[in-house]
Structure 1
Amino acid sequence: MEKLLRARIESNALKHKPTTRSGVMVTGGGYQGKTETVCEICAAFEDFWLDAHLHLPSARPGTRDLHAPVAYVQTPVTAKPKSTCKAILNFYGGDAKGMDLPELIRQVAHSLNDHGTKVLVLDDITRLRMHRADDQDVLDLIRAFMSMHVTLVLIGVDIPGSGLLREGRRDPHTGQWAFPPSTYAQQVRVNGQEPTQTERRFDLIELDRFRYSTPEQIAAWTTHLAGVEQHLRLMNAASGLLTDGAMPEYLYRRTDGVVGLLERLLEDGCREAIDTGTEKLTESLLDTVVLNLRDAPGRDPATGEVPALPPQPSQRGKRPRNTVFDDRGPAAESAS
């Protein structure tokens, strides 16, 4: 994934021809690290791009002095073309009050150009539902963004099953998805030039959870745990804390190989280890940690952004709560 995404971003950034830039779609399940991985790759590109240009802003005279090679925007839950444009303009701190849709699209085009943006990341793109007319218009608008000389990176849960690709066709030779030109493209003029009308193309990358069936898959999971282990700062944490014995299998059983669930389990486990003074992670200690993703902030369960949890450890054996001082109310008193 890193090689393809980094290569696509850098190649597009170095182009000067007035052609549409191929985009990238990153798909996978919820809590699988899609956003974090994309942001890490884009942050590395931004550092490279700023160093290459001596950190000098490329903004035009009269605009805000902000050089932003990468722009990150979260798709609104109930997206419309106007709200999507406003979300992008909010990234730059722009004022979008009183603008109609053509003006908003034109302002987005100018903001991307004036601030030297080379990559536009749109997260949670599968919040769009293709049975809604507004969402279809937003997808058409997004394809218009590809004419604005930026690399478009779309992140979402199960993009192939979301309906976003239904108008596209897959090229069997390149593996890319090709889409027809956007109807919004005619509404956009960047520096007085009409955008090109070639087909828009996307590479589709799937970031899957870890598996635990073959020796290669087990080795990959254990290697990931070894990397995580290096960042633990528990006083009694010995080498092999997460990789020795049955711990890798236990952690996989608790998280189903989803890196976001693993992070949550280990964070809560470390907090428990510190509070109890054990200062190390054991299966018995982690059994006391129950994962709960209800009311996850900033996530829409309806679009699959919150994954199904594996079976949690049994709570039997815990000391029952003392109910002596419970107030059972007037109804309970009359019954007695």
Structure 2
Amino acid sequence: MKQPDLFSLSRKEGFRRFADAPARQRPETLTRMQIRALGDDAAEDYHDSRHDWHANFGIVQTPQLDAIHEDLDQIVASNRQDGDRIRSAAVIDALPGLGKTTIANLFARTFHRQQMRRLPTVTAAGHERIPVFRVGLTSNTTLRTLNRMICEFYGHPATDRANAATLASHALDCVLSCETQLGVIDDIHFIDLDRRDGMAVSNHLKWLANELPVTFIYVGVGLAERRFFADGLTGKNVALAQTARRWTRLGVDPFRLDTDLGRRRWRSLLKATERRLVLAEHRPGMLVSLADYFFERTSGHIGSYFTLLMRGCYRAIRTGTEALTRDVLDAVRLDEASEQARRQLAAALAHGTLPSALGDAS
């Protein structure tokens, strides 16, 4: 079994590997007869290469991804203020399973590649150029841990014993020395604004935005519902909140079947992904013919869709079916949210209260 390429995007070395990785090589699609002719060991290696491909075959350019990348590009490109000016930030705020983190990471990768193509790998002062830093928060993030995570991304040596203020100073030095222009902070919904330390971290994010000359992209779940844009304030105090004036909220919607455009987009997703499958019995149009079934199983959430696709491909190879049939996919268990919604969606599709994904297909 081939070992996965293990790295962390919360370290500069890992992010660089992610950003600089070449396109993965697609395995050849063999017929059943050709697979049988390989022999046991060669066939096992071939199957393993296909498992690896299906788990990592790349990103589909969905309308949601394209729209948010266009907004992010506009926000980042317009943030060219000098160091004495506050830059606006972007926040990707949506439900789980809609690709928020993937969207942010891909934008950061594109930005990294653009900067490294245009600028020297070493700054004028002789420091390593790092266009992007990225960290993910935890459920017990404090001022000190947030500052430490930023420092650890850069590999700063003095992170073990320093206090929060010293680490903040180190983080600023890293950003300035490496001429970083973009900072991605994921999972900010872990900040609990009802707790004193949570409010302190929220305020510290404002300090970072004031002091670090970078554009921030924050990623989180249900931030509007958590009063994040109101800084946790209520009543008349909401007018004093800074976040709502500084952050541009970008939402991510699931795929839908209740409009002609939504159904076309859903079919386009299936068409785009089925072209990448490496299965002996797969034929064009097989996924699209199951468009209603895939929606029933995933509720239009792209994270659940790709999980079903990857697990289904694995099962199709292991069982020798070599195609994504309904029987193969029925044997795949998905996330609990999708499983709970499945019966209701199936009934809506069966009774016509939810239009079929193939209803307006030409």
Normalising by structure 1, we get a TM-score of: 0.75
Secondary structure of residue in 2 paired with 1:3: helix
Do the aligned residues in 1 keep the contact of 2:132 with 2:181 (CA within 8 Å)? yes
> In the alignment, which residue of structure 1 is the partner of 2:141?
79
* Structure-to-structure mapping, 1:24-63, within 5 angstroms: 24-53=90-119, 55-58=120-123, 60-61=125-126
Conserved? CA contact 1:70–1:121, under 8 Å: yes
The reply to whether residue 219 of structure 1 matches residue 271 of structure 2 is no
Amino acid at match of 1:279: E
Indicate yes or no: 2:307 matched with 1:264: yes
Hey, what does 2:78 align to over in structure 1? 11
Contact 1:10 1:45 in 2 (8 A): no
Q: What TM-score comes out, normalization by structure 2 length?
A: 0.70
* 8 Å contact kept, 2:137–2:190: yes
Q: How does 1:204-215 map to 2 (within 5 A)?
A: 204-215=249-260
What is the distance in 2 between the residues matched to 1:113 and 1:178?
30
Q: CA deviation at 1:24?
A: 0.2
| 1:180, distance to aligned residue in structure 2 (A) | 3.4
Q: Which runs of 5+ in 1 are unaligned?
A: 170-176, 182-198, 294-306, 314-336
What SS does the corresponding residue of 2:332 show, helix, strand or coil?
coil
Shift, 1:161, TM fit: 0.8
Give how far 1:292 is off: 4.2
- SS at structure 2 position matched to 1:66: coil
Identity, % of aligned pairs? 24
The offset of 1:179, in angstroms, is 4.5
Q: Which of the residues 216, 223, 226 maps onto 1:159?
A: 223
Give the structure 2 partner of residue 325 of structure 1. none
Letter in 2 for 1:3: E
Q: Is the 8 A contact 2:193 2:232 kept in 1?
A: no
Cα distance in 1, alignment partners of residues 115 and 181 from structure 2: 9
Larger helix percent: 2
Give the structure 2 partner of residue 126 of structure 1.
Answer: 189
CA–CA distance in structure 1, aligned partners of residues 186 and 198 of structure 2: 15
Would you say the 8 A contact 1:168–1:180 is kept in 2? no
The one-letter code of the counterpart of 2:169 is R
**What secondary structure does 2:288 align onto?**
coil
- Select 1:255's aligned residue among 295, 298, 302: 298
Alpha-carbon distance in 2 for matches of 1:168, 1:115: 34
Q: Max radius of gyration: which structure?
A: 1
Equivalent positions of 1:171-190 (< 5 A) are 179-180=241-242
Matches within 5 A, 1:58-137: 58=123, 60-61=125-126, 65-94=127-156, 95-137=158-200
1:58 Cα deviation from its structure 2 partner? 2.1
1:179–1:5 distance in 2 versus 1, CA, 3 Å: farther
Q: Distance in 1 between matches of 2:294 and 2:308?
A: 9
Paired positions, count: 269
